[in-house]
């Protein structure tokens, strides 16, 4: 029996996508995963990290990740409408968050921590909701959980020094980057194509 999707379905079901769309999603997930890994490592090894440097690094991550999410929402035509809208909205929020983080007009550690925390929670919840019902499911769920936990930790921990934010942010970015790379590799594997996508 073919799988069906509704307009309001928020999950990204690889069975409804054609091969080029699956490749595009894999590339998008791998790209944001690699970006998270690189930014996480840079944050951890950067000498004399300041609030401004952290703002730029996290801002670039959120900005590029947001652009990728918007592109996924616009280009993945085989996905359910709800999933596409979710990606576009998430992308716009991340782009705004990235711009604010880069500019950080108050040069405030508290503002940056709050912005990072909220952005991660939103990204994590979206990741949990969108998890694909294929072999990448557990990695998508793990990524969403890591992002939510990271967001909560950053948002509700008393971030009193740049060092604390560097360690928390860098470690969580590296972990989420590794998980996203595995998720990208697994996405769409073992799926049964529907008659429309076969």
All domains in the chain, ordered by first residue:
14-186 (1.25.40)
Measured on CA atoms in the order 187, 93, 98, 119, is the torsion positive or negative? negative
Residue 52 has pLDDT above 60, yes or no: yes
Residue 95, pLDDT > 80, answer yes
3-class secondary-structure state, position 52: helix
- Provide, rounded to the nearest whole percent, the portion of the chain with pLDDT above 70: 80
133 pLDDT tier (thresholds 50, 70, 90): low
The Cα–Cα gap between 9 and 115 comes to: 28
d(CA 180, CA 171): 14
- d(C-alpha 185, C-alpha 111), whole Å: 35
Burial of 33 (0-12, 13-18, 19+ CB in 10 A): buried
Dist CA 86 CA 78 (whole Å) = 14
pTM of the model: 0.77
Question: Tell me, what's the pLDDT at 197?
Answer: 44
Contact call for residues 187 and 25 (beta carbons, < 8 A): yes
Higher per-residue confidence, 16 vs 62:
62
What is the tens place of the pLDDT at every residue in 141-165?
Answer: 888 898 899 888 888 876 666 777 8
**What is the pLDDT confidence band of residue 36, given thresholds at 50, 70 and 90?**
very high
């Amino acid at each position: 029996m073919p799988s069906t999707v509704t307009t309001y379905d928020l999950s990204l079901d690889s069975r409804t996508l054609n091969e080029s769309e699956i490749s595009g999603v894999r590339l998008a997930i791998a790209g944001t995963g690699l970006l998270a890994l690189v930014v996480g490592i840079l944050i951890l090894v950067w000498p004399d990290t300041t609030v401004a440097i952290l703002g730029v690094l996290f801002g670039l991550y959120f900005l590029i990740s947001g652009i990728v999410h918007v592109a996924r929402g616009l280009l993945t035509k085989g996905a359910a409408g709800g999933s596409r809208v979710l990606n576009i909205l998430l992308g716009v929020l991340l782009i705004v968050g990235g711009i604010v983080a880069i500019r950080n007009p108050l040069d405030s550690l508290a503002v940056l921590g709050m912005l990072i925390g909220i952005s991660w929670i939103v990204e994590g919840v979206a990741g949990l909701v969108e998890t694909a019902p294929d072999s990448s499911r557990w990695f998508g769920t793990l990524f969403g959980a890591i992002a939510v936990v990271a967001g909560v930790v950053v948002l509700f921990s008393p971030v009193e020094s740049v060092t604390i934010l560097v360690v928390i942010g860098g470690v969580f970015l590296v972990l989420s980057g590794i998980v996203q790379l595995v998720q990208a590799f697994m996405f769409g594997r073992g799926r049964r194509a529907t008659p429309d996508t076969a």
